[in-house]
Structure formats: structure tokens, C-alpha cells
Homo-oligomer: A and B are copies of this chain.
Amino acid sequence: MSRQRQINQKKETRQLILSVAKEIMIKEGVDKISIRKITNTLNYSPGIVYHYFKDKEEIIESLLKEGYLEILNSIRDTKEYEKEPEKEIREKFINYINAVLRFSDVYLAIIFSNKPSILQYTGILHKGVSEDRKSIKILCNLIRKGIQLNQFKECDVELTAQALWVSIFGLIIKLIIEGEIEIEQKEKLINQQLDIIISGIKKH
């Protein structure tokens, strides 16, 4: 077998393990992941896992980082609307909501991870967050543009961005936890949420 072939296969098996781990995480939660469950599903023996991962921790971290990347990637490309920050905010949030809901279990796991290595990426309530969290920075810029265009009220921009973000975050978490919401109701909820918070920052 060629070297490349081997490396690929190794990656594939890693991926296989991760995907089973992910299934478990989705069905039962992060800390219900167990090496035994994984290898039973794959008809492997427990030991072999340690050929691909240092320990269980590494599996979980890989899992979360992977999920996080997936989410980030799926948000990346939203259009810009030169003169319509409101529209852009709506669209960005809708994209974010959808991306997160697609990886909802991973998202929950990330958000509620108390591993420092992950925590450092998820904090958004501190003062100065707009410097170190890109998504908040973008949101701030949009709000600022809206103010400049005389569409939004004067305000503390960062605090406002945090409030908007947190509002949407609350909705997302609830949508994930409650799970089986009808699609129509879900869309109504999302729209209502956006209507209210945007109406809350607009000039009248």
C-alpha cells in the first residue's frame, strides 16, 4: 500500500471514529460518549482507538473543533448591502441561526463546554469583546453604519451588539433544546425575534 494511501486510510479511520462519537454526542450528549460505545458500534476492540487518538479528551476536542469550523464556514459568505445595514443584520443572523441549527448538538456542546481552550472562543459579555471576537466586531460595524445612515438610534454600539447577539442566542438555545417545533412556528419565532430587536434599535 502506498504511503499516501496509508495516510488517507488513517485519516479515514479517525474520521470514522469521530463520526460515531458525534452520533453518540448528538443522541446522548457529550459526556455520554464512551470508547466502549464507539468501538462496539464499529465492531472494533477498545484498544485500537488509542492508535488514532491520544485519549478520549482528544476525541472530544477534535469533535468540537470540527463542529465549530463547520459552523464558522457556513456563516462566512453573506452578501453585503451597501446602504441597508438592517437587511444585512437580518440576513447574517438568519444565516447564523440556520448554520447553528444544522450542527445544533455540536453547538450546545461547544457553548457549554467549560474547557478553557474552548471557553476562550465563546465569551462575549466582557467589555472590549468587539476587539477580540470577529462576529461581534462585524455586528458593531453594521450598527455603526446604521447610525451613520441615520437609520439606527445613537447608542453604545458594543453593548447593543451584545444585546442583539444574546437575544438571538437565547432563541437558538431554546430552539435546540425544545427540538420538535413545527417549521412554520419556528419561522414565525425567528422573524418575530428579529423584528423586535431591530425595531428596538431603529430610529422612528
A contact set with B: CB distance below 8 Å: 31, 108, 111-112, 114, 119, 122-127, 156, 159-160, 162-164, 166-175, 177-179, 181-182, 185-186, 188-189, 192-193, 195-201, 204
Contacts and interface: CB of A to CB of B under 8 A. Distances in A.
Contacts of A200: 195-200
The oligomer's copy count stands at: 4
Given A125-B174, A170-B169, A174-B169, A156 B119 contact: no
A164 B174 CA distance: 13
A163 B189 contact: yes
Contacts of A197: 167, 196-197, 200
Given A173-B169, A173-B170, A162 B192 contact: yes
A126 B177 contact: no
